[in-house]
Amino acid sequence: MPKIISSQELDNRIGEICKELQLGHCIGLPTETVYGLAADATNGQAVARIFEMKGRPKFNPLIIHVANLDMAEEYGTFNALARQLADAFWPGPLTLVVPRRADTGLSELVSAGLGTVGIRCPKGLAREIIASFGRPLAAPSANKSGKVSPTAASHVAQQFEGTDLMIADNGVCEVGLESTIAKVEDEIITILRPGLVTADMIQDATGKEPEISKSQTIEAPGMMKSHYAPNANVKLNCNTVEDGAAFLAFGQVSIDTSCGCTVYNLSKSGDLREAAANLYLGLKTLDETGTDMICVSPIPHEGLGIAINDRLQRASAPRKP
Ligand code: TXA
Ligand code: MG
Dihedral sign computed on CA atoms, order 45, 50, 55, 58? negative
- Amino acid letter for position 160: F
Mutate to test the pocket of ligand 1, among 27, 53, 62 (most ligand atoms within 8 A of CB): 62
141 CA to centre of ligand 2 in angstroms? 4
Looking at the CA of 146, name the nearest ligand: 2
In the chain, % of residues over pLDDT 70: 93
Q: Is the CB of 72 under 6 A from ligand 1?
A: no
Q: E strands along 19-81, which residues?
A: 27-30, 35-40, 63-65
Is the CB–ligand 1 distance for residue 63 below 6 Å? Answer: yes
pLDDT-above-90 percentage for the chain:
75
Q: Is the pLDDT of residue 121 over 50?
A: yes
In whole angstroms, what is the distance from residue 226 CA to residue 315 CA? 6
Sheet holding 293-296, edge to edge: 233-235, 293-296, 246-249, 263-265
Pocket lining: 139 vs ligand 1, CB cutoff 6 Å? yes
- Asked whether 213 lines ligand 1 (CB < 6 A), one says no
Q: Best of 63, 109, 178, 225 to mutate for ligand 1, by most ligand atoms within 8 A of CB?
A: 63
Cβ 150 under 6 angstroms from ligand 1 = no
Q: What are phi and psi for residue 185, nearest 5 degrees?
A: -125, 110
- 42 C-beta closer than 6 A to ligand 1: no
Reported as half-sphere exposure (CB side, CA atoms, 13 A), residue 186 has a value of 0
Q: How does pLDDT run across 213-247, given as a tens digit for each residue?
A: 875 443 444 445 556 678 899 999 998 888 889 99
CA 179 to ligand 1: nearest atom: 1
Poorest-pLDDT segment among 110-119, 128-137, 251-260: 251-260
Confidence at 109, pLDDT banded by 50, 70, 90: confident
CA 140 – ligand 1 centroid, Å = 6
For the whole prediction, is pTM greater than 0.75? yes
Range 7-16 average pLDDT: 91
Which pLDDT does position 217 carry in this prediction?
A: 41
Which ligand is in closest contact with the Cα of 148? 2
| Contact criterion met (CB below 8 Å) for 191 and 197 | no
Domains recognised in the chain with CATH numbers: 3-212 (3.90.870.10), 233-315 (3.40.50.11030)
Single-letter residue type at 27: I
**Distance (Å) of CA 156 to CA 189, 289, 317:** 33, 19, 24
Q: Is the CB of 303 under 6 A from ligand 1?
A: no
The angle, 0 to 180 degrees and rounded to 10, between the axes of the packed helices 80-89 and 199-206 is 120
Listed in order, strand segments (DSSP E) in 145-218 are 166-168, 180-185, 188-193, 211-212
Q: What is the mean pLDDT of residues 161-167?
A: 96
Q: Is it the case that residue 127 has pLDDT exceeding 50?
A: yes
Who wins on pLDDT, 202 or 108?
Answer: 202
Neighbours of 64 (CB within 10 A): 29
Of 75 and 57, the one with more pLDDT: 75
